[in-house]
Amino acid sequence: MKFSGNNVLITGASRGIGAETAKVLTGFGLKVWINYNTNEKKAIEVKNDILNGSPNAKVEIIKFDAADELAYMEAFQKIINSDKKLDYLVNNAGITKDNLSMMMDISDYDDVMRTNSRSCFIGSREAIRFMARNRFGAVVNVSSVTAEMGNSGQTNYASSKGAIIAMTKSFAYEGAARNIRFNCITPGLIETDMTAELNENISERFLQKIPLKRFGKASDAAYAIAFLLSDYSEYMTGEVMKINGGMYM
C-alpha cells in the first residue's frame, strides 16, 4: 500500500489488534508509536518482535492512559516534538467489563465508556488540532460488531462502541475541510486474548453465526486499518468497515 504520511500513533498497541496493526504498519515503512497503559512487558515484546523481523523498522513505545485528557495531549506533544508532525492515528484502546444489565454496577458502565469512547474522542480531537497544521491526516477508530447488533451482557461495551461510530461520522465532517479523514472498523470475533478465554460451547455457538465459519485473525483487522489510512482510501471518510466474516450483514 502507498502512504503519503510517515508516522502513526496506535493506542492500546501492546496486544491484539493494536499489536498486529503496529507490525503491519512498520512493514509498510511507517514509524509506529506503540501506546500502552499498564503492560510495559507486552509493549516491549511487540517492539522486539518488530525489530527482530525488520531491524531497520522505526518503532517507539509511549506510555499513557488514553482516557486521561492531559496525558493524551502530552503524548501528542511528545510525538510532535520528536517527529515535527503526526500523520496517522489509530484509536484502538479498549476494555470490557461484561455483566447482565440488571446486575451491572454503574462504575463498570462508566469505566468502559471512559476507556473506549472518551479516549477515542480525545484522540480524534487532538488529531484535528495537530494534523490541521499540515492539512493532512487520517484516523481510524476501532469499534465493534457489538455496536451494530448488540449483545447480552455487553450493554456498556455496545454503548461505548456505538458512540465511536457516531463520533467518527461527526469528526469526518469536521476534518474534511482540513483534509483529515476519519473512518471506523467494526471487527467481529477476532482471535485475541479475550476470545481465547471463551469455553468450547460458547465458541461453537458464535461460530454458527459466522458464515465464514471461523474467528477472524488480528491481521484481518490490521490490514483493513492499513487500507483506511493509506492513499488507496483517500476518497473515503465517515465510513464504517465491517470485518466480521459475514456475522452481521
The per-residue pLDDT string of the chain (249 residues; one tens digit each, 9 = 90 and over) reads 999 999 999 999 999 999 999 999 999 999 999 999 999 999 999 999 999 999 999 999 999 999 999 999 999 999 999 999 999 999 999 988 989 999 999 999 999 999 999 999 999 999 999 999 999 999 999 999 999 998 888 999 999 999 999 999 999 999 999 999 999 999 999 987 766 666 677 678 778 889 999 999 999 999 999 999 999 999 999 999 999 999 865
- The whole-number pLDDT of residue 203 equals 73
- Of the candidates 110, 82, 96, 92, the one whose C-alpha atom is nearest the C-alpha of residue 151 is 96
H helix runs in the chain, sequence order = 16-27, 40-53, 69-83, 106-113, 119-131, 145-149, 155-176, 193-196, 200-207, 218-229
CB neighbour list of residue 41: distance below 8 Å, 6 or more residues apart: none
Q: Which domains does the chain have, with CATH numbers?
A: 7-243 (3.40.50.720)
Q: Residue 65, CB half-sphere, CA atoms under 13 Å: how many?
A: 9
C-alpha–C-alpha distance, residues 221 and 68, integer Å: 26
C-alpha–C-alpha distance, residues 174 and 108, integer Å: 31
182 CA to centre of own chain = 12
Q: Residue 99, CB half-sphere, CA atoms under 13 Å: how many?
A: 11
- The whole-number pLDDT of residue 121 equals 98
- Of the candidates 5, 21, 4, 2, the one whose C-alpha atom is nearest the C-alpha of residue 185 is 21
C-alpha–C-alpha distance, residues 146 and 161, integer Å: 7
- The whole-number pLDDT of residue 202 equals 67
Catalytic residue ranges:
157
Helices 119-131 and 155-176: crossing angle in degrees, nearest 10, is 10
154: three-class secondary structure by DSSP = coil
Residues 92, 18: contact at Cβ < 8 Å? yes
- The whole-number pLDDT of residue 41 equals 97
- The whole-number pLDDT of residue 192 equals 78
Q: What is the pTM of this model?
A: 0.94
